[in-house]
Amino acid sequence: MTTTTAPLPPAPSVTTPEPLVSVRGLRVAYGDGPLVLDGVDLDLFAGETVALLGSSGSGKSTLMRSLTGFAPITGGSARVAGHDVGALRRGQLRGLRAQVGQVFQQFNLVGRLSVLTNVLTGALHGAGPINAVGGFTSADRQRALALLDRVGIAHKATDQARTLSGGQQQRVAIARALMQRPRLILADEPVASLDPSMSHQVLELLQEIARTDGIPVLVSLHVLHLALEHSDRVVGLRHGEVLVSAPTAELDADRLAAVYDVPPTDEQEADDVAR
Ligand SMILES: Nc1ncnc2c1ncn2[C@@H]1O[C@H](COP(=O)(O)OP(=O)(O)O)[C@@H](O)[C@H]1O
Ligand SMILES: [Mg+2]
């Protein structure tokens, strides 16, 4: 019997998910200074929470800034939602930034404004000054209230933001970020000013949002055990280079200690959490 080669049936379509963020060989230097990021690779996929670890000065904030065009890219590339960030013009960058929710260590709320108004300002991203003056629609208000409910502080909607605890303020900041309908959330040391129990709650909330809404969350932390407990993947930076990049389940504190110049002692970790 002769065998003939028949054409193969079409392969079942295995759709490889595209990363929302794809950073390749990224180099960043401020002015004439040294490289603060030196050949960084990073992918962020829908639904995952990636913890960015590293000592102070290792380049965590710079890497986040490079995703929204706030860091001087001197080599390699950063692609976010299909855009080559380094090639975007000012107006295009504004459009990109409107799609990126940001959460900061110091919450960055307007303290004298109500919690609800703070959340509503998330809707102004990408809106021109006329919209900003024109006020908010009732649909905006309803959505802001629903988001406050989701983060567990709807009962504080009319309170001045500055009267809330740190953990509550960070929830407001997260609701504000969600108000943007973000495609990506960047959280730069979001729990560095919170006590341990608040830290866990806020990180749990971020991970829940990533999973439920399919939004990638990149969260920088300098406390190792928080990264191990509240992320799907860890990327460890040291002196601007990626030293570790692995699923969290495959990592432990010993392996991650390598990203620190001086491995943190348990006591320092406790201090860090308490700060
Ligand atoms: N705007 C800036 N101008 C000059 N140097 C900067 C600037 N921002 C950060 N750096 C330097 O870049 C390096 C990385 O800083 P950063 O990204 O803030 O690290 P991390 O967030 O991990 O602490 C540090 O050496 C810091 O001094
Ligand atoms: Mg930083």
Render pLDDT for 113-143 as a digit per residue (tens, 0 to 9): 999 999 999 998 755 554 555 578 899 999 9
Compute the mean pLDDT over every residue in the chain, rounded to the nearest whole number: 91
What the block records as the tokens of 138 is 């009732």
- Tell which of 156, 181, 206 closes a domain: 181
Do 167 and 198 touch, CB atoms closer than 8 A?
A: yes
The pLDDT value recorded for residue 274 is 44
In a domain, 106, yes or no: no
pLDDT at 75 over 60: yes
Share of the chain above pLDDT 90, in %: 80
Instruction: Supply the range of the domain harboring residue 159.
Output: 111-181
Predicted confidence at residue 273, as pLDDT, reads 45
CA distance 67 to 73: 10
Ligand closest to the CA atom of residue 60 = 1
pLDDT tens, residue by residue, 82-116: 999 999 999 999 999 999 999 999 999 999 999 99
Residue 10 lies in a domain: no
- Residue 5 inside a domain? The answer is no
Cα(23) to centroid of ligand 2, in Å? 18
Q: Is residue 165 part of a domain?
A: yes
119 and 76 share a domain? no
191 and 248 fall within a common domain? yes
Judged by its nearest atom, the ligand closest to the C-alpha of residue 36 is 1
Q: What is the mean pLDDT of residues 251-274?
A: 68
Counted residue by residue, the chain has a size of: 275
CB 161 within 8 A of CB 169: yes
Q: pLDDT: is 89 or 8 the higher one?
A: 89
Mean pLDDT along residues 187-215: 97
Last residue of a domain, one of 123, 155, 181: 181
Q: Which residue's CA lies nearest to atom 27 of ligand 1?
A: 57
* Same structural domain, 177 and 160: yes
Same domain, 170 and 236: no
Count of domains for the chain: 2
Asked if 59 and 33 sit in the same domain, the reply is yes
Ligand nearest to the CA of 188: 2
- Ligand 1, from 42, 62, 73, 237: best to mutate by most atoms within 8 Å of Cβ? 62
pLDDT of residue 7: 76
Q: Is position 261 within any domain?
A: yes
Confidence (pLDDT) at 260: 84
Q: Where does the pLDDT of residue 9 fall: very low under 50, low under 70, confident under 90, or very high at 90 and above?
A: confident
Query: pTM for this one?
Result: 0.90
Closest ligand, as measured to the CA of 63: 1
Per-residue pLDDT for 265 more than 90? no
Task: Let me know if residue 162 belongs to a domain.
Answer: yes
Task: Say what the pLDDT of residue 275 is.
Answer: 44
Closest residue to atom 6 of ligand 1, CA basis: 30
Identify which of 26, 27, 28, 30 to mutate to test ligand 1's pocket (most ligand atoms within 8 A of the CB). 30
Looking at ligand 1, which residue's alpha carbon is closest to its atom 25? 57
Q: Is residue 241 one of the residues assigned to a domain?
A: yes
Instruction: State yes or no: pLDDT of 11 exceeds 80.
Output: no
Same domain membership, residue 93 and residue 35: yes
Q: Which pLDDT score, from 0 to 100, does residue 269 have? A: 53
Tokens of 22: 């794809």
**Do residues 190 and 247 share a domain?**
yes
Query: How many angstroms is it from 162 CA to the middle of ligand 2?
Result: 24
CA of 169 to the centre of ligand 2 (A): 20
- Provide residues with CB under 6 Å of ligand 1: 30, 33, 36, 54, 56-62
The two tokens of residue 146 are: 């629903």
- What is the whole-number distance in angstroms between the Cα of residue 2 and the centre of ligand 2? 68
The domain that holds 193 is classified in CATH as 3.40.50.300
Please compute Rg for the chain using Cα positions: 21
Specify if 11 maps to a domain. Answer: no
Identify whether residues 37 and 128 lie together within a single domain: no
Instruction: Kindly report which listed range (42-56, 175-189, 251-265) carries the lowest average pLDDT score.
Output: 251-265
Cα(121) to centroid(ligand 2), Å: 24
Domain boundary among 181, 216, 239: 181
Helix (H) or strand (E) holding 96: helix 90-98
Q: In sequence order, what are the residues at sequence separation of 6 or more whose Cβ sits closer than 8 angstroms to the Cβ of residue 198?
A: 165, 166, 167, 170, 191
Atom 2 of ligand 1: nearest residue by CA position: 30
- What is the whole-number distance in angstroms between the Cα of residue 71 and the centre of ligand 1? 10
- Looking from the CA of residue 62, the nearest atom of ligand 1 is 17
